Amino acid sequence: MKKWQLKKLEQLRELKKDKEMKTDIAEVLLDEQTIQNKVMELGKKISEDYKDKNPVMVCILKGGVIFLTDLIKNISIPLELDFMSLSSYGDTTKSSGVVKIKKDIDVDITGRHVIIIEDIVDSGLTLKYINEYFKRHKPASVKICALLDKPEAHKTDIYIDYKGFKVGNEFVVGYGLDYAQKYRNLPYIGILKKEIYS
Ligand code: IMP
Ligand code: MG
């Protein structure tokens, strides 16, 4: 097969993938451009606030990873990256707040300025757990940067220092967010049709 034919085939596959996933989306909440504009704004703010602070940005896997990679391209100051992976038990569309660390950070955060990068704050229990866990290491500061926030779902007092968008209580997917590991690669954020998860 010729190079252009392979390319065409690849494009068709992409279209099919997008169509397949799109039929599961009830409504596009935030389109690609809207997300990118906000990410740029957040990156600029972090660059100003952390000038000369060499922050450690800890991305919560896997949902935060798309947001992180776009965000850091919009940050103009030196920074360090680290990753953390947690599992929470119970319902797949709700956090139980019972958290287990599957992958801990590698960087010693004692005396460092830490920024936690999350995809979405739902009950807030995961972030509360991480925050308390980090504080035991005596960092200089810990701040939270989350692309999405579901304020009506909070079950704990949580302050989000850098927030992208507020959303309602619907289950959303795309731009890192998944349902059963699917939809993370959508470039936009959409509400998942209820029949998919109920
Ligand atoms: P929390 O502990 O309830 O705040 O749970 C936060 C985590 O639950 C997020 O990092 C997501 O992985 C997941 N989550 C919560 N709401 C949604 C959603 O609407 N779509 C996809 N994942 C979600
Ligand atoms: Mg997450």
Q: Is 116 in the pocket of ligand 1 (CB under 6 A)?
A: no
Distance between Cα 110 and ligand 2 center (Å)? 24
Q: Do the domain assignments include residue 158?
A: yes
From 38, 76, 82, 79, select the one nearest 64 (Cα to Cα).
82
Q: pTM of whole model > 0.75?
A: yes
- Assign 3-state DSSP to the chain and report helix, strand, coil percentages, each to 5: 30, 30, 40
The predicted structure's pLDDT at residue 21 = 85
Q: Do the domain assignments include residue 152?
A: yes
3-state secondary structure of 38: helix
Domain span holding position 67: 29-193
Distance between Cα 173 and ligand 1 center (Å)? 10
Q: Is 120 in the pocket of ligand 1 (CB under 6 A)?
A: yes
Q: What is the pLDDT of residues 36-77, one digit of tens each?
A: 999 999 999 999 999 999 999 999 999 999 999 999 999 999
C-alpha–C-alpha distance, residues 77 and 54, integer Å = 7
Beta strands in the chain (DSSP E): 25-30, 56-61, 80-88, 99-103, 113-121, 141-149, 162-166, 172-173, 189-192
Atom 10 of ligand 1, nearest CA residue = 120
The predicted structure's pLDDT at residue 151 = 97
Q: What is the pLDDT of residues 87-136, one digit of tens each?
A: 876 556 666 667 889 999 999 999 999 999 999 999 999 999 999 999 99
Distance between Cα 103 and ligand 2 center (Å)? 13
CA 160 to chain centroid, in Å, comes to: 13
Q: Do the domain assignments include residue 16?
A: no
Q: Is 63 in the pocket of ligand 1 (CB under 6 A)?
A: yes
> How many percent of the chain have pLDDT more than 90?
81
Q: Do the domain assignments include residue 91?
A: yes
91 annotated active-site: no
CATH code, domain carrying 102: 3.40.50.2020
To 10 degrees, what angle do helices 32-49 and 65-72 make? 60
Based on the structure, what is the number of domains in the chain? 1
Q: Do the domain assignments include residue 172?
A: yes
Strands of 172-173's sheet, edge to edge? 25-30, 189-192, 172-173
Q: Is 146 in the pocket of ligand 1 (CB under 6 A)?
A: no
Q: Do the domain assignments include residue 105?
A: yes
Q: Do the domain assignments include residue 162?
A: yes
Residue in 70, 119, 122, 149 annotated catalytic:
122
Strand partners of residue 96: none
CB 58 within 8 A of CB 85: no
Distance between Cα 95 and ligand 1 center (Å)? 7
Neighbours of ion ligand 2 (CB under 5 A): 63, 119
Q: Do the domain assignments include residue 44?
A: yes
Q: Is 126 in the pocket of ligand 1 (CB under 6 A)?
A: yes
Neighbours of 38 (CB within 10 A): 17
